[in-house]
Structure 1
Amino acid sequence: MTMPSPHPTLDVAAVRAQFPALASGTAHFDGPGGSQTPSVVAEAIATTLTSSIANRGTVTAAEQRAERIVHEARAATGDLLDTDPATVIFGRSMTALTMDLARTLARSRDWGPGDEVVVTSLDHDANIRPWVIAAEAVGAGVRWAEVDPETGELPPSAVEAVLTERTRMVAVTGASNLIGTRPDLPRIISAAHAVGALVHVDAVHLAAHAAVSREQLGADLLSCSPYKFFGPHLGVMSGRPDLLEELRPDKLLPSPETVPERFEMGTLPYELLAGATATVDFVAGLAGTDGTRRARLEASFAAMEAHEDALRVRAEDGLAAIDGVRVHSRALHRTPTLLFTVEGVEPAAVHRHLAARGVNAPASHFYAWDCSHRLGLGPAGGVRVGMAPYTTQEEVDRLLEGVGELR
C-alpha cells in the first residue's frame, strides 16, 4: 500500500475553488468563529434533506438510509478524533453536550462538599461554566489554573499546583479560541490522572488546525464542533468506553439505553450528520488520496499546519511592524490565531474599518471571558485573525494594509 507523502503540500487555489463563498472576494479571517463551507458539504446536506428518509430503522429504504447516515457519521468522526466510533456522541452544540455531561458526572459520581473541579482561565466559557455550575449545585469547590497574561502560556505547573486528591475533573482546552495557545495536554492529563481525576478536553479550536487523537492524548472525554472545520453546526463528544457505560444521563423513558444513543436527546439531525461525514472526507482529501482515512487526515492536517503557520508568521511580523499594534500572545505552541489591539482605537472600530475593505476580522472576547479579562482586555477583547487552508498571502497583506491605515 502506498503511504501518504511525509511532506504533503496544500494546493491553495484548488482548495479555494471548492468554497462558493470566496467568490465574493472577501478575505475571511473569521474562521475561529466558524469556517466557510465547501460545496461538497452543502450538497451532502441538501441531498439528505431531499431524499426519501425516515426515523432510523431496518425495514424501509428510508429507515435504512437514516441508519446508514448515522453509522457513517460516527465512523468518520471516529477517524477524525482517532477514537472508537461507538463512543461518538452527537448533540446540538459542544456547549449543550458539556452542560449535560457536567450534570451527569456530578450526579453519577456523587460529587459533593470537599470534592473539586479544576478549570483554566485560558478556556472558552463552554469548558468553564458547565463545570462551575455543576460543582456549585452539589457543594463542590472550583480551583483555577491561570494563564500567564504576559506570554499567553498555560504552563502545566499552573494546573499541577491546584490539583489535590479531591480533584474530580480537570477541564482544559486543546487550543485557545482567543489567542491560539496550545497547552501541553499530555503532561496536564498525566498529572490529573495521577491524582485520580478525569479530564475533559475542549478540542473545538484545536481540531480545526491539527490532527487530534483522543486515545493518544489519554483524554477521558473530548469535544469538538464540525462547523469550525468546514462542516455543519452541531457538537461532537467522545469518551472512554468504560466511562460512558458508567454514566447515566437524564433521558426520556423509551429512549435507548445503549451508548452512545443514551446521551443523544431526540431524533438526530440526519442531514447535518451527512454533512459531517462529507466534511471529514473533504479534509482527508486535501493532501492526497492514499492510505486509510485516518492516515489521509493526518497528511492533510500536516499540510494545513505548514500553510497556516507560515501565514501566521507573516501576519504576526507585519502587525508587530505597525506602530501602536500589540499582539496578545507569544505562546511557543499555537494555532494560526492572533488577537491584537490598536492603541487608541476600539477593537469594534478596527473590525468595522477592515470590514469596509472586504476583510473579515471580528472583535470580541469570543466567549473566552476569563481569558480576555486575564489579559487586561475586559469585555471588549481584541481583534481576532484566524488562518484557514483557503487563506492566501495576498489576503494577509490586505489585512496588514488595512490595519496600517489606522496609524
Structure 2
Amino acid sequence: MLIKITKLIKILKVCWKAKKIWTKPNAAKVLIYDRVGSENFLQYLAENHVEILDIRGESINFYIILKLICDKKIINKHNYMDLYIKVIDPLIVMTFIDNSISFYKIQLKNPNAKKIFVQNGMRGELGDIFAYLQKNNSYHVDYMLTFSYPIGFKYQQYIQGEVMVIGGFKNNSFSKGKILSDKKSVLFISEYHPEPGLKNSPFWVEPDGRSVSWDDCFAAEFKLLPFLKNYCAKHNLILKIAARTHVIDGAEYQYFKKILGDKGWCYYPNCSPFSSYQLVESSEFIVSIDSTLGYEALARGKKTACFSIRSFSVYNRSTKFGWPAKLPEYGPFWTNHADDQEFERVINYVTTASDKEWQQTWQHYMADIMEYDPSNTRFRKLMCELGVPLKLEYTDVQ
C-alpha cells in the first residue's frame, strides 16, 4: 500500500511540474522521441514537419490522457507513448538517446514508418547500455546511425536494424579549423560526476550485483593528472581543464583543485552547447581518458593523447581504447596501461609529431573509432531518401 501511495505522489509531482497541453497533437512527418538532444535534429529538419514526444515530464498532453480514459486503457507510460505516436502517424520516429531500451521496443502501427536512433556518446559495458541489453528479438530499429562500424556491429548483436556510419552528429555540426589555436596548450577533457550523496554508497551497481565505487571509477584521474601537470610545467605547456559543468567555482572545480592544487592549471566551465568544442579547437593538444569529446577531437584530426586506463581500478574490456574495435593495448597516441613511462611515451609523441606524421598516423586508425562527416551530409541524404523535409539551406546534399 505504501509503495502505491509513493508511486502516486511521484506521478502527481510530475503532473504538477509539467507543461499542460490540452489540444490534439499535430500530425507530422517526423516525431522526435525524447526532447533531450532534439535541438541537434532541429538544426537540419523543417520544424513545421516535426513534433516532439516528451518522456521526462517536460509536458503532458491531456488530449492523449482523456482518449486513453475513453478507450478504457490503463494510463501508463507505454500506452501514453503508443497512442501519442498513433495520433501523430509519423513517417519517421527518431531519437538522439541511442541507449534508450524503451525506444527499441516501440512497435509502429504504420508499416511504412521508420525508426532511427543516432548515437550520441561512447558506449561500453561498464555502467552503460551493453551491461543491460539482452539478446532479444523484440529490440528493433530500422537504422542505427553510429560513430563507426565496430560499435554498429556491436549494437546489431542485440538489436535488429541496419547500421549506417555517420560519425558524431554534434561533432559533424562543428566546423574544424576556424579557430586559431592557443599554441603550447594541453587541454584535459573532464568526465567529472559528483560523488554519491550517502557516504560509502556505490557509484553504480552492475546488473550482476557488483557495485562500483566513485573512488575506483575516478582513480584514473587521480593517477594521470598529477603526471600531466608536472609534464606541462617541465615543457612550458599551459594545462587547461575543459569542465563538464557550467559553474565557475562549484563542486567540479573543487574536485580538480583537490587533485592539482591551487596553481599550474586553468579551468574552463562548459557555458554553452558548443563551448567545449570551441575550447578543443583552440587548444594545440588534447588529453582524454575515455571521453566522447576526446574521440570527437581525434575524428577532427586534433593531436590527441588517449590514456584509456580505467581498467587498472575497475576492470572491464570496454574501457580499452577504441572498444569494441580490436586495437592493440598501446599505440602511437594511446595506451591502456596506467604507467608513467607509458604516459610520457604517448604525450611525447602527440606533442612532437609533425603535422604530416600525425595526419598519416591518425588516418590509419580513425575509421574503426569515429568518422567525421562535416555538416552531417550522410544524415541529410538519408532524410531526403525517406521523404523528410529539410531546411532550405540544407537541401543540397552531394
Q: TM-score, with normalisation over the residues of structure 2?
A: 0.27
**Which structure shows the bigger proportion of residues in strand conformation?**
2
